[in-house]
Amino acid sequence: MDIKKDQKEYLGALKSSGLKNTKHRCSLLEILFNESQPLNAEEIFFRIKEKTAEINLSTVYRNLEVLVNKGLVTKLTFPGDSKSLYEYNKMGHRHYIVCISCKKIMTIEHCPLQEYELSLEKETGFKINAHKLVMFGYCPECNKK
Ligand SMILES: [Zn+2]
Ligand SMILES: [Zn+2]
């Protein structure tokens, strides 16, 4: 993976959102950008601490909210789970399957809704620019129990 190119992408997004390029925001975006799974605020906090030390959990929450409000980061809240998860809002979005027993989350790379969006636009006259899709069920391990 080309790290410089990655950095350019999220720093560019930060710049075009009009937010100040602070050390904490950069670390947050770097972590979320390179992570394939969504993370909760505590996990993000520990990862930043491993790298740069000087940060506290409320700073992480505060900066996450700012990034969520600007659309750079997506906040995911799953029913029955008190902790919100955060992920970098890449242009191509992802969907999830959540195990309601062990809370394991699997990412679905393929989006089945693109054609449906188009026909829905025709039908309703809406210009659709986002959607969310989360599947719930039991993972193979929990299903065996
Ligand atoms: Zn499970
Ligand atoms: Zn989709």
**67 or 128, which is more confident?**
67
User: Residue 37 Cα, ligand 1 centroid: separation in angstroms?
Assistant: 16
Q: How far apart are CA 51 and CA 26, in angstroms?
A: 12
Ligand 2 geometric centre to CA of 114 (Å): 6
CATH class of 92-145: alpha beta
In the chain, list all ranges with CATH 3.30.1490.190: 92-145
Would you say the pTM of this structure is higher than 0.85?
A: no
Q: Ligand 1 centre from 61 Cα, in Å?
A: 28
Q: Which CATH number fits domain 1-89: 3.30.1280.10, 1.10.10.10, 3.40.50.360, 3.40.1280.10?
A: 1.10.10.10
Predicted pLDDT of residue 92: 61
**Percent of the residues in the chain that have a pLDDT greater than 90, as a whole number:** 37
pLDDT at 59 over 90: yes
Task: Tell which residue, 37, 43, 35, 30, has the closest CA to residue 3.
Answer: 30
Please give the distance, rounded to the nearest whole angstrom, from the Cα atom of residue 143 to the centre of ligand 1: 7
Where does CATH 1.10.10.10 sit in the chain? 1-89
Ligand whose nearest atom lies closest to the CA of 94: 2
pLDDT of residue 1: 47
The number of the ligand nearest the C-alpha atom of 145 reads 1
Q: How far is the CA of 74 from the centre of ligand 2 (A)?
A: 14
Distance CA 40, CA 32 (A): 10
CA distances (Å), 42 to each of 2, 31, 67, 108, in order? Answer: 27, 13, 16, 24
Q: State the distance from the centre of ligand 1 to the C-alpha of 99, rounded, in angstroms.
A: 5
What are 82-129's pLDDT values in tens digits? 789 998 887 567 788 989 999 888 888 788 888 898 999 999 999 877
| Predicted pLDDT of residue 95 | 83
